[in-house]
Structures are given as structure tokens and as C-alpha cells.
Amino acid sequence: MEKPVWMICTTHMFIEIYLFVQVALIPVIVQEFQLSLIEASLVATIPSLVALLMNVPSGFLADRLSTNHLLFTSMLIEGFSALLISQTNNFWTLVLGVSLLKISSPIYHISGLSQMSRFVKLERMGRSIGFHNALGNVGSAAGILSLTFFLLTFGWRWAYLFWGVPILIWGFILLISQQLKTKRIDRNDTEEKTTPRKLSYIFSTSLLIFLVAISFREVGSTSAYTFMTTYFVNVRGLFESTATLIFGLGPFVGIAGSICGGYLTERAGAKKALSVAILGCLTSLLILSLMTYTLLLGLLYVIYALFMSLLWSPMNTIVAAVTPESKRGLSYSVYFFAEGLTASITPIIAAGVIAVSSVWFVFPFSVAFMTVGLITLQFLPKSVDKSSPSS
């Protein structure tokens, strides 16, 4: 794998350090700042909305500015935000710090992935995305492990202080990198003339079908993800610590799953690989809802998490396959915006479903939406899989 790709993947590892830390800290925040659970949840919802709004401008920037400058910016924002959070004694300052930190994610993901798609041939894209996501899971796991250590020793703020410095150092390494300078894309006059023509280059029929498919899938996966520990505790009677332990296995399983997803995408093609992953998710989730023994619950959740981690490589590869190279940054921003918007509103919908039924009903609800997403995906043209050797 080329050095620039490894540098982009390593940056992803740093970006994902705090992915689960804010959510894991909610019980601690409730106690320390004397908040209700609804108030404490703002540390997750407000930053998510801020990151969502950053997706589209990040896409425009990714197509116009040098990649090393954008990746440096993402590391600079994340590093200084982490240092700010480590010094805060006020809840709203904490929300501000986490919101600033979350801005680094769309700046990185859209510029990093769009540039990776230019360095890597399409037929090798799946494997590269697999390693990219595996290192992201390494970062998520490292963040959770370090938070556990610092909660038991020096306090949760040290988890932010500990990672803030190496993140900033890595940012300056990216800044001086010659390998990451964006390769300029020639834009022909026809493409640049009018806004409708620009949009037609991006919003192809294939991309629109894909966005609908992943939106249905996102409703299903977000519903199950949001209320998984609630189900473990309230329905299956597990201790909160046991439920959290099972839930925390996801990033570790994701390391292997991401790599497998990359190879599966390369061998079978992105559309087939994504179909297999969604089918595995909905099947394992349905069986999980019928399990009563703790060991079997844990095993089924691990299988479900494995299939979930298989998704990312084919999804990112499809975006690259159905969009023009010169508009890839904006295409990724549209993809992340659609996925993020769906993920933002789904918990409210799922909570309403639970309110009129039960926590258990979130599973058939999730499976139904995943099934619709899987069916919609089949309308993508076979040409999406043309890069696979077996096609």
C-alpha cells in the first residue's frame, strides 16, 4: 500500500479516538455536573448536529484545497479541542469543546477518502478502505481503554489530555508531507458551466438509489445500536456493567471485520459485499432478539458487530464507483450528510415505537428497515461490481 494511503489511514485512527468516549462518559457527566439524563445527552446530540452541518462545506473544500492542509486542519481542531475539554469545569464549555472536536471528523473523512480514491485504483479500493476502517477501530478501542484506565486513576479529563499532544504532533507531520498534496483534477468547461450540470454529475441515478438504500439501512442499524444496552438491561436483566462490556466488544471485532470487508469487496465487488453484510446484520439481529442466555447474547452481538464492520468498505467504494473523480469530495459529503441526518432523527422515531410497544419491538423494526434497504440496493447497476476479479 502506498505511503500516502497509510498516512490517511493513520489519521483515521487518531480521528476515531474519541468516537465512543463522549457517550461512555454520560453517567460520569450526570454525577459530576448534577444533570438529568436528558441534559447530559446534549453532549452527544449537539456535537452530532454540528458535525452534520459541516459535511457539505467540507465536500466543497475537499475538491478545492490540498489534502495535507485539510488533514492538518482536522488534527489541529481535534487536538486543541481535546486540550480545551481536559481543562473544563463547566458543562456548557464541555459541550462547546466536544462540538469543536466533532468538526474535525467531516473535514478528515471527506478530504481523506476522496484523496484515497484518487491514489488507489478502483479495483483495489475495497482493500484500502478495509485497512482504513480497521485502523479507525484501533483508535476507537484505544480511546475506550484509555478512558477506563484514567477513570480508575487520574480522572476522565486525562483521556483528552493524553491523546491531545500526539494528535497535534501528527498534524504537523501531515502538514509538511509532500506525498499528500492533492493531485489537481482537470475540470472541463462543460462541467463548470452551470449548476444544474454540476449537480447532474453528482446526483446520478446510481448515487440516488444508493443513498435511499443506505438511509433505510441506517434507520435499522441506528435503532438497534441506540437501544441495545437498554434491551440487555431492561429486558434480559443483565447488570449494567455486563451490558456495557458486551457492547464494548464492537470496536475490537471491527478491526478484523473491516479488513475482511475490504477483501470481500475486492473479491466479490462492492454491491455483492454490501448485500452480504446487510443480510448478515439483519439475520444476526433477528436471532439475537430471541436469545435469553447471556453467553449466546454476547456471541450473537459479536456476530452482529462483525457484519456491521463489513459494511463500511463496500459503501465507501460504491460512492467512488458511481461519482466522477473531480466531484468526489462533494459526493462523499452528500453521502455522509444523508447518513448523518438519518442517524440523527432515528433515535426519536425508534423511541416513539418503543413507547407504544416495548423495547424488544425495536428489533423487528430494525430488521424491517434493513430488509427494505437490502431490496433497494439490488436496483444498483451491475457495473458497480465491475472492478471485482470475479465479475
DSSP-based three-state secondary structure for 349:
helix
Do 389 and 265 meet the contact criterion of CB atoms below 8 Å apart? no
Q: What is the pLDDT of residue 386?
A: 57
Q: Give the DSSP letter string of 369-389.
A: HHHHHHHHHTTS-GGGGTTST
Full set of structural domains in the chain with CATH:
1-182 (1.20.1250.20), 191-391 (1.20.1250.20)
Q: Return the CA Rg of the chain.
A: 20
**% pLDDT > 90, the chain:** 24
Instruction: Please state, in angstroms and rounded to a whole number, the distance separating the CA atoms of residues 249 and 272.
Output: 26
Q: How far is CA 271 from the centre of its chain?
A: 19
Q: What is the pLDDT of residue 78?
A: 93
Type of residue found at 104: S
Cell numbers describing residue 258? 473491516
Do 116 and 8 meet the contact criterion of CB atoms below 8 Å apart? yes
pTM (2 d.p.): 0.70
DSSP-based three-state secondary structure for 350:
helix
- Those residues of the chain that have pLDDT short of 50 are 184-195, 387-391
Type of residue found at 45: T
Q: Give the DSSP letter string of 174-236.
A: HHT-STTSPPP----HHHHH-HHHHHHHHS-HHHHHHHHHHHHHHHHHHHHHHTHHHHHHHTT
Cell numbers describing residue 276? 452480504
Instruction: Please state, in angstroms and rounded to a whole number, the distance separating the CA atoms of residues 281 and 260.
Output: 15
How do residues 171-187 score in pLDDT, each as one tens digit?
Answer: 998 888 776 665 544 44
Q: What's the 3-state SS for 164-187?
A: HHHHHHHHHHHHCCCCCCCCCCCC
CA torsion, ordered 369, 374, 378, 382, to nearest 10 deg: 140
Output the CA angle 303-307-308, nearest 5 degrees. 115
Q: What is the pLDDT of residue 181?
A: 67
Do 206 and 322 meet the contact criterion of CB atoms below 8 Å apart? yes
Cell numbers describing residue 373? 434497504
How do residues 211-264 score in pLDDT, each as one tens digit?
Answer: 999 999 999 998 887 778 778 877 888 876 677 677 778 778 888 888 888 888
Q: What is the pLDDT of residue 377?
A: 93
Q: What is the pLDDT of residue 227?
A: 78
Q: Cα–Cα distances in Å, from 45 out to 96, 99, 283?
A: 12, 9, 29
Q: What is the pLDDT of residue 237?
A: 83
